[in-house]
Amino acid sequence: MCAKILVVDDEPDLEVLIRQMFRQKIRDKQYDFLFANNGVEALERLHDDQNIDLVLTDINMPEMDGLTLLTKMNELNNPLLRAVIVSAYGDMTNIRTAMNRGAFDFVVKPIDLSDLEITINKSLEDLFKLKEAIQSRDQLIALHQELDIARTIQMSMLPVKFPAYPDYKEFDIYAEMIPAKEVGGDFYDFFLIDKNHLGFAIGDVSGKGIPAALFMAVCKTVLKTTALKGLPPDECLQQVNLILHLECIASMFVTLFYGIFDFFTGEVSYCNGGHLPPCRIDKNGSVTPIETTGNIALGVLADAVYATKTVSLGPGEGLFLYTDGITEAMNKDYLEFGEDRLLHSLKVPMKNAKVVAQRVIDDVKTFAADLAQSDDLTVMALYHK
């Protein structure tokens, strides 16, 4: 990096002296020196060239002295510009005034060129560190802005309009995801397969951050595209698993529960690919985890075999689905929310899917209090009216 240095002094011999002293660094393009005879010329230079890094200025000069120049430099709104004052030995009053007006350092006359080089190097080293810090800050701000956009895109992929199907009086469904970071690896989805069947799913991608969010988008898209063919849950997950395994995205995998709800008979056929088993809530508020289907997460083995099971929901009964961010949420004593607290939160007769889902989220937040969220919180409630 070539540092651009403006030398302001009314002594003509100083330019020759500096060019001779720093000839090697000038030749190596480490330093680029500009010269001005007084503060007026210096200000013109500074207005014309926004890339000047350091101003080395004398105090006593005609037309505009160095102290006035420092004041004018402060009005340029360039906080990265450094100034080094040159003053007579013992002129502490002016030196103190210069430092109070923003000078970074000073050298005294007669100028010791070795001391001048040390002072210039020190000033530039501090300046370049500040520039690197600002560049890192700007990159971080840009990254946060990109993550905010990514979060908006990711959240837009999830159904967020509730009630989702106000014209259907047979069922009610509600879901919510609260990412631990700007983007998350959890997801949920639900969609009408035909006039009698609702497909619904919840998943948790391995890992966190942007890679997990990208893999989540792939999983959700592949699942819905496959599920809308009307395949049974086991065949659907088997096809999704094969596609994800072929993609082989950074050795990632996803735990996934997919169910098909016949909202006229109340039967739910489902397949569980390594996910936490949903809870069945009966009309009296009794809560029981449903059977797993014994299948592993998707994307692990290409030839994994999946199975379907069924559970029946009578009127006034429902299912509650969740990811491990719920049960593994910790409080300040590093205790987990756990399955027992979850079951306690659910032991209320189900009247409304949203009320059930948000009660669990509220209980988790109350339990964790001010401790930072370490994992995505995702819930889904399905209620058979």
pLDDT tens digits for range 157-169: 889 999 999 999 9
pLDDT value at residue 117: 86
**Do 164 and 124 lie in a common domain?**
no
**Do 52 and 177 lie in a common domain?**
no
pLDDT per residue over 253-264, tens digit each? 999 999 999 999
User: At 182, is the secondary structure helix, strand, or coil?
Assistant: coil
Q: Establish if 148 belongs to a structural domain.
A: no
User: Residue 310 forms beta bridges with which residues?
Assistant: 269
pLDDT value at residue 249: 61
pLDDT value at residue 144: 64
Higher pLDDT, 39 or 185: 39
Distance CA 38, CA 64 (A): 6
Contacts 24+ apart (CB under 8 A), 75-79: 76/46, 76/47, 78/46, 78/50
> Residue 359 contacts by C-beta under 8 Å, 6 or more apart in sequence?
345, 348
Q: How does residue 102 score in pLDDT terms, banded at 50, 70 and 90?
A: confident
**Do 99 and 41 lie in a common domain?**
yes
Which of 108-117, 292-301, 326-335 is predicted least confidently?
A: 108-117
Q: Establish if 164 belongs to a structural domain.
A: yes
CATH of the domain at 77: 3.40.50.2300
**Do 193 and 130 lie in a common domain?**
no
Distance CA 26, CA 22 (A): 6
Q: How does residue 34 score in pLDDT terms, banded at 50, 70 and 90?
A: very high
Q: Is pLDDT above 90 for 285?
A: no
**Do 220 and 351 lie in a common domain?**
yes
Q: Is pLDDT above 90 for 287?
A: yes
State how many domains the chain has. Answer: 2
Mean pLDDT over each residue of the chain, to the nearest integer: 88
pLDDT value at residue 149: 65
- What's the domain range around 86? 3-136
Exposure string over 47-80, b if 16+ CB within 10 A, otherwise e: eeeeebbbbbbbbebeebbbbbbbeebeeeeeee
Query: For the residues 211-224, what does the mean pLDDT come to?
Result: 86
Which of 11-15, 16-20, 143-147 is predicted least confidently?
A: 143-147
The token duo for 321 is: 């689905």
Query: For the residues 192-211, what does the mean pLDDT come to?
Result: 90
Q: How does residue 63 score in pLDDT terms, banded at 50, 70 and 90?
A: confident
Q: Is pLDDT above 80 for 93?
A: yes
**Do 91 and 132 lie in a common domain?**
yes
**Do 358 and 257 lie in a common domain?**
yes
Say how far residue 49 (Cα) sits from the centre of its chain: 37
pLDDT value at residue 214: 80
Q: How does residue 100 score in pLDDT terms, banded at 50, 70 and 90?
A: confident
Q: Establish if 76 belongs to a structural domain.
A: yes
Exposure string over 95-124, b if 16+ CB within 10 A, otherwise e: bebbeebebbbbbbeebeeeebeebbeebb
CATH of the domain at 211: 3.60.40.10
**Do 213 and 339 lie in a common domain?**
yes
User: At 130, is the secondary structure helix, strand, or coil?
Assistant: helix
Give the rounded percent of residues in the chain with a pLDDT score beyond 90.
48
**Do 193 and 257 lie in a common domain?**
yes
Q: How does residue 187 score in pLDDT terms, banded at 50, 70 and 90?
A: very high
**Do 311 and 166 lie in a common domain?**
yes
Pairing state between β 171-178 and 377-384: antiparallel
Select from 131, 191, 201, 128 the least CA-distant residue to 164. 191
User: At 212, is the secondary structure helix, strand, or coil?
Assistant: helix
Which of 243-247, 272-276, 328-332 is predicted least confidently?
A: 243-247
- Would you mind telling me the total number of residues written for the chain in this entry? 385
pLDDT value at residue 114: 84
Higher pLDDT, 75 or 90: 75
Amino acid at 192: L
Q: Establish if 143 belongs to a structural domain.
A: no
Which of 64-68, 127-131, 273-277: highest mean pLDDT?
Answer: 273-277
